[in-house]
A and B are shown apart, each in its own frame.
Chain A
Amino acid sequence: MTTHAVATPADRPKGWSREAMSAPPGSGGQTGVARSAHLGDAALGWACRLSAAIVFLMLISLIAVLVHSAWPAIRQFGFGFLVSTEWRVNELERPMRDATGQVVLIDGEPVMETLAPAFGALPVIWGTAVSSVIALVIAVPISLSAAIFLVRVAPKLRIAGAASFLIEFLAAVPSLAFGIWALFVLAPLFQKYVGPFLQRVLEPIPGFRWMFYETVTVAGRNIERPIPLTGRDLFTGSLILAIMILPIITSVSRDVLKSVPRTQIEGTLALGATWWQSCVAMLRYGRSGLLGAIMLGLARAAGETMAVTMVIGNNSQISPSPFAPAQTMASVLANEFAEASEGLHRAALLYVALILLTMSLVFNVVARRLVVGGISPTGSH
């Protein structure tokens, strides 16, 4: 074992080990040295317990503060908040319409109605869920194949170390860097080339029209109009999310696959399995851990803020089209929390934060249970 100079607390007397050794066990408090050693023990124990208490307090304060600050919105909207689609920050005044869509007139003047501010989380929950799922659909096959490559092939080529370093560095790149790249490279690319290309190819095919047209209600009538391809939409947001969750899914799956016993692989090969068939056996053996890796990716995608905020278009609406701007829970917080004055708007945003927290807690807890079930908790292999 290599020893390294670690700053020892200054209050510890020199040569403590010899004296402590000569003191018989249980004679604590007999000599000055032994007493100070026991004091050190107690101090360390309480310092550790204090730190542990702080960690407990962190979780309690997180939940308590969010619930307390979101309480006005929770009381007003209840669980209906989760399924309501209205997100109206300010009062809205508009001409009243009757059931047929005609403006109600009295003496030739339209009757105005005032809509109170209303808040519902369904659009942002929708945006979070759809963008995360698209991101997973793109990222999981790439990540799993890369993980197999890292475990089965890279060591033979002696590039496992370099490849792992690259993936870990990718994981360390801040989300802001991905956001800027997506904003200045990916979004214009989609606006100019990819979007129009997809539209040209997919639009004539029946059943794809909904991707490029939206139905809006203007003056009581439904109008179908093309969705402008801006490059800042749900699809670009999902794509950058996919890129950002590649490293976490890859590195956790790599660890899970690495922990598959060698005998399992050798057994399948001895029975005449091809390379791929033995990989399938490996994937099956580690399936709960791999599911955990995917859940971790999902949790990461759902909570990701900066990159998504920069490219998703930030429009709280539910559109079936991936080329329409959307909004996620994290991005609505980043966009609106600064402007939210006191009152219901802020409480509603805190309610959103509470939902986001709950969701990511559930994903993380399930994921960790699955991964820990698959590999040893200390990660040694």
Chain B
Amino acid sequence: MPGSFAEFRRRSISSIMFGLCAGGAALIVAILLLVIGYLVWIGVASLSWEFLTSVPTGDVAHPGGMRHAIDGTIILVALASAVGVPIGVLAGIYLSEYPGEHVVTNPLRFIADVLAGVPSIVVGILGYELVVVPVSRWTQSSVSFSGYAGAAALAFIMIPIVARTTEEMLRLVPKTFREGSLALGATRAQTIFRVVLPGAFGGVATGIMLAMGRIAGETAPLLFTALGSRLLTHNPAEPFPSLTLQIYTYATGPYPEQKRLAWAGILVLLFMLFVVNLSIRLVASRHARFRVGV
């Protein structure tokens, strides 16, 4: 009944809740700006040309830069992608394009989902037990932490993500495209490579870049596999530096100059991720036709 107290009450509750919802959204944006803003603000003040070009000096008052760690992260992500992208994409194709084998694909989809949710520290420990320990035993050295072990752990994280996003993107390509292609006499492989994959290119690329961004920021899987290093090394058979490991070491260490480097490192990492995210947006909007929520 308009004008009654009950009516007034429910309308005011609605207004209050509207305000709270807007407040919730504003709070999240505020937290983002607070965290990112602070990191950028301090990071920019700490960033220098030296940071990008020189390697650690060993002197805690003048710790040098993080060139080795930036190179390390790029190499680790490249190695992990070299393994993870083909396996992930092929597994995604299998999930989407071989529906006849659903006895296998249904459990596989479930397993990929489960693997995507494994805590990254557990992946690191798996890498230690599965790569570092056997290699040490084989080469009879004390402990063989290596870039390869780190890249393997990162690939482990990458594969399920790539597989599931690839599958979902391929599924968005209309079935009629496949039927048309097959009706013209194309084989299954031709259909997949010439029709289905190009149709879902934007989405698949988005998923791959998303996974690359995710592993570039990982620390926990590398703690017991790549271990980190203060040397500029491009040999993944040695203990290997990464931006995240170096930042973690510096941030939790006692020296203020190294903490300053940690801030700058976080800024570089965030900048890399921002570029990746922005390119995802661009790729996704250019291929808006087959885009789903990233």
Contacts and interface: CB of A to CB of B under 8 A. Distances in A.
Nearest to B252: A310
A49 B93 CA distance: 10
A47 B29 CA distance: 44
B120 interface: yes
Given A142-B24, A177-B266, A334-B223, A274 B14 contact: yes
Given A41-B189, A65-B130, A172 B214 contact: yes
Interface of B: 10-11, 13-14, 17-18, 20-25, 27-29, 31-32, 35-36, 38-39, 86-88, 90-91, 93-95, 97-98, 104-105, 108, 110-122, 125-126, 128-130, 156, 159-160, 163, 168, 171-172, 177, 184-190, 192-194, 197-199, 201, 210, 213-214, 216-220, 223-224, 244, 247-248, 251-252, 259, 262-263, 266, 269-270, 273-274, 276-277, 281, 287, 289, 292-294
Interface stretch (A53-61, A74-82, A192-200, A212-220): A53-61
Contacts of A246: 28, 31
A55 B11 contact: no
Contacts of A2: 287, 289
A149 B22 CA distance: 6
A272 B179 CA distance: 48
Determine the interface band of chain A, counting residues with CB < 8 A from chain B.
Answer: 35 or more
A58 B198 CA distance: 29
Interface of A: 1-4, 6, 8-9, 12, 16-17, 20-23, 25, 37-38, 40-41, 43-45, 47-52, 54-56, 58-59, 61-62, 65-66, 69, 141-146, 148-150, 152-154, 163-170, 172-181, 183-185, 243, 246-247, 250-251, 255, 274-277, 279, 296, 299, 302-306, 310, 330, 333-334, 337-338, 349-350, 353, 356-357, 360-361, 363-365, 368, 377-380
A275 B266 contact: no
A330 B277 contact: no
Contacts of B266: 176-177, 180
Contact of B23 (A8, A61, A145, A185): A145
A106 B92 CA distance: 73
A165 B160 CA distance: 23
Nearest to B243: A176
A380 B248 contact: no
A372 to B, nearest CB: 9
Contacts of A22: 185
Given A48-B93, A54-B87, A172-B214, A8 B113 contact: no
Contacts, number: 308
B28 A333 contact: no
A21 B184 contact: yes
Contact of B11 (A8, A50, A274, A279): A274
Given A180-B263, A246-B28, A310-B252, A172 B213 contact: yes
A69 B127 CA distance: 13
Contact of A330 (B108, B119, B184, B269): B119
Nearest to B204: A6
A230 B35 CA distance: 21
